Amino acid sequence: MKTLLAGLLILCLAPPLDAATRAAEFSGDGMVASRSKWASQVGAEILADGGNAVDAAVAVGFALAVTYPSAGNLGGGGFMVIHLADGTVITNDHREKAPLAATRDMYLDEQRQVVEGLSTASHLAVGVPGTVDGLLAVLERYGTMDRADVINPAIRLAEKGIVLDRDLAAQFERRLKDFAKYPASMAVFSKSGAPYAVGERWRQPDLAATLKRIRKHGRAGFYDGRTADLLVAEMQAGGGLITHEDLTQYRSVWREPVRGTYRGYDIVSMPPPSSGGVLLVQMLNMLEGLDIKASEFGSAATIHAMVEAERRAYADRAEYLGDPDFFPVPVARLTSKDYARMRFADFDPDKASLSEDIGAGEIPLESPDTTHASIMDADGNAVAYTTTLNLSYGAKMVTTGAGFLLNNEMDDFSAKENAPNFYGLLGRAANAIEPGKRMLSSMTPTIVLQDGKPLLVTGSPGGSTIITTTLQVILNVLDHGMDVADAVASPRFHHQWQPDRILVEARGFSPDTRRLLQSMGHTNLVEVPSFLGRGIGDANSVMSTKDGIVGAADPRSAGRAVGVSPAQSRADGKSPAE
């Protein structure tokens, strides 16, 4: 509770973010919604130049590594869900892997206690990065443009620099004490130790050089040669485990999506090693038997039903979800309608059930660290892309000489049976550390299809809250009839089985609703802030409507939706914000 209160205090003191455009953006010619105005602009320009949604998504991925460094990355991992106009649906898993030298108990001391900070703030926290292999594999298979075309915008942004807005300048300043441990991080995020000011130009020459090696050599520009040497040297200097062998062996994986249906719509989402798609479909299946539309948005009855579905799904997560290459995840069973009926048979519309008491973890409130982008082109191609370094700025460690931040994704493994990770999530054998294994994720990039065509592209950051945020956006559209801007902006809540409590954004439940929920037995309601940059989730989403494609950046943060206008011109060769 102490952590939570400290978190709330920090949050209340956080400087306000730039006032980004909040209105929904319309376009008939393609749309990109992401957390970074520069990255969204890059994606829209790629579409305007004739690229498809895949080209745009890859370009956005590289741009985010430059302009949204807390989560966009070269040194982390992500998941991409792709729907092509010809009906192909596929996912690319470029999740980080445990280094070959990793061991199950590597974060435990002699008393078998988890050593604080080892899996989040040390060289041992770093998983083998997957983003570069994933983005290039996706481009090669489904893109139409050259590697240089989609990497050049990122190189330009790193080399020429961007003029820092309040959002980024404030983030860097807040993190300076974390970066101070690492000279290479200080060199990128400060001016010899002094904070950058709003309006100053921020250049990243080492990162530009790394991007140029990737442009020239493809995956070998990252996993071999100078970049690999710099990364391995960083590991050796700091006691990390990643070797040249880890890097040359790393490959992203094409996986069949998790599929489900909800009231006649098709749901396509990320399979394990994400828990997101499985839990999303599971919860939708449980809720399908109820008349959510009739019980209406925000009522105690609707909230109660959703919390009970969430409680059951997250309990399954701790037991059954992990890397499918190492653990037989029962995906078909967990996502079947029969299973949901059985699992929800004891649902009592008037009474809360109790989560088993097996040790509660706190969910510290961090600023957004993962990031989600939604892209749709005019031809019916759509991409949902979520990428992360895990916590904000990952391990806070820039690879010396190579200019990119390293992840601390190893914390997403279960360091010990039933010991909560940073997000309070519990896990057991399915998600134990093994060499070469991918750590379980909650990232839920999702596409909702109507009659085989993309209707909604969505997803979010937020650790354990990602899955319930995605669920809420989908229910808001499909059951409550909201447009995408309202669906994304509406207040959110979250339950994850353990700890047994409902997190709710400030003023998210009315006093009457709170009283009704309490009378059903939902006695542990914890309010979290809802204002700029600090609410639950950041669900930048895109939706197809009869009037065109609508993009909505989540008003909780400073993201932006940018639509393609046919008249769009890049005559000056610059993004407007440069």
DSSP strands (E only) in 389-480 = 446-450, 453-458
Q: Are 80 and 91 in contact (CB under 8 A)?
A: yes
DSSP helix/strand/coil, 13: helix
Shortest spacing between CB 314 and ligand DON, in angstroms? 13
Select from 83-91, 441-449, 497-505, 541-549 the region that touches ligand DON (CB under 6 A): 441-449
The 3-class SS string of 518-553 reads: HHHCCCCEEEECCCCCCCCCCCCEEEEECCEEEEEC
Shortest spacing between CB 409 and ligand DON, in angstroms? 6
In the beta sheet, which residues pair with residue 173? none
| Nearer to ligand DON (CB atom), residue 32 or residue 410 | 410
State the binding string over 25-54 for ligand DON (x if CB under 6 A, else -). Answer: ------------------------------
State the binding string over 62-101 for ligand DON (x if CB under 6 A, else -). Answer: ----------------------------------------
- Indicate whether 390 belongs to the interface with ligand DON (CB under 6 A): yes
Q: What are phi and psi of 502, to 5 degrees?
A: -105, 120
Shortest spacing between CB 492 and ligand DON, in angstroms? 13
Strands across the sheet containing 493-494: 493-494, 502-505, 525-528
Q: Residues near 194 by Cβ (< 8 Å), separated by ≥ 6? A: none
Is it true that the peptide bond before 273 is cis, omega within 30 degrees of 0? Answer: yes
- Indicate whether 443 belongs to the interface with ligand DON (CB under 6 A): yes
Candidates 143, 240, 420, 461; binder of ligand DON (CB under 6 A) is 461
Burial class (CB in 10 A: 0-12, 13-18, 19+), 439: buried
Shortest spacing between CB 514 and ligand DON, in angstroms? 26
Q: How far is it, in rounded angstroms, from Cα 60 to Cα 45?
A: 10
Select from 59-67, 127-135, 328-336, 440-448 the region that touches ligand DON (CB under 6 A): 440-448
| Nearer to ligand DON (CB atom), residue 299 or residue 387 | 387
State the binding string over 99-138 for ligand DON (x if CB under 6 A, else -). Answer: ----------------------------------------
Q: How far is it, in rounded angstroms, from Cα 176 to Cα 193?
A: 8
Q: How far is it, in rounded angstroms, from Cα 372 to Cα 71?
A: 9
Locus of tokens 């880890």: 246
Q: Are 399 and 187 in contact (CB under 8 A)?
A: no
Pairing of strands 253-255, 89-94: antiparallel
| Nearer to ligand DON (CB atom), residue 27 or residue 370 | 370
- Indicate whether 462 belongs to the interface with ligand DON (CB under 6 A): yes
In the beta sheet, which residues pair with residue 458? 446
Select from 180-188, 190-198, 319-327, 438-446 the region that touches ligand DON (CB under 6 A): 438-446
Locus of tokens 């249906």: 261
Strands across the sheet containing 453-458: 25-27, 548-552, 541-545, 453-458, 446-450, 265-269, 258-262
Q: Which two tokens stand for residue 564?
A: 């393609």
- What is the size of the binding site for ligand DON (CB under 6 A)? 14
| Nearer to ligand DON (CB atom), residue 403 or residue 533 | 533
Q: Which two tokens stand for residue 462?
A: 């937020």
| Nearer to ligand DON (CB atom), residue 55 or residue 369 | 369
Is it true that the peptide bond before 499 is cis, omega within 30 degrees of 0? Answer: yes
Locus of tokens 């190893």: 410
Candidates 243, 282, 335, 441; binder of ligand DON (CB under 6 A) is 441
Candidates 187, 466, 477, 564; binder of ligand DON (CB under 6 A) is 466
How open is the CA angle 379-88-437, to the nearest 5 degrees?
125
Q: Residues near 299 by Cβ (< 8 Å), separated by ≥ 6? A: 513
How open is the CA angle 357-361-364, to the nearest 5 degrees?
150
Select from 22-30, 125-133, 456-464, 517-525 the region that touches ligand DON (CB under 6 A): 456-464
Candidates 463, 533, 555, 563; binder of ligand DON (CB under 6 A) is 463
Shortest spacing between CB 531 and ligand DON, in angstroms? 16
Question: Which of these, 543, 541, 550, lies nearest to 489 by C-alpha position?
Answer: 541
Q: What are phi and psi of 52, to 5 degrees?
A: -95, 180
Select from 261-269, 314-322, 365-373, 539-547 the region that touches ligand DON (CB under 6 A): 365-373
Candidates 7, 127, 260, 368; binder of ligand DON (CB under 6 A) is 368
State the binding string over 290-329 for ligand DON (x if CB under 6 A, else -). Answer: ----------------------------------------
Candidates 442, 468, 469, 544; binder of ligand DON (CB under 6 A) is 442
Terminal Cα distance for the chain, rounded: 42
Shortest spacing between CB 504 and ligand DON, in angstroms? 17
Shortest spacing between CB 412 and ligand DON, in angstroms? 5
Give the residue numbers annotated as catalytic, written as ranges: 370
Select from 235-243, 306-314, 461-469, 559-567 the region that touches ligand DON (CB under 6 A): 461-469
Q: Are 426 and 415 in contact (CB under 8 A)?
A: no
Shortest spacing between CB 304 and ligand DON, in angstroms? 26
| Nearer to ligand DON (CB atom), residue 77 or residue 551 | 77
- Indicate whether 554 belongs to the interface with ligand DON (CB under 6 A): no
DSSP helix/strand/coil, 328: coil
- Indicate whether 370 belongs to the interface with ligand DON (CB under 6 A): yes
Shortest spacing between CB 78 and ligand DON, in angstroms? 9
- Indicate whether 335 belongs to the interface with ligand DON (CB under 6 A): no
Positions touching ligand DON (CB under 6 A) are 368-370, 388, 390, 409, 412, 441-443, 461-463, 466
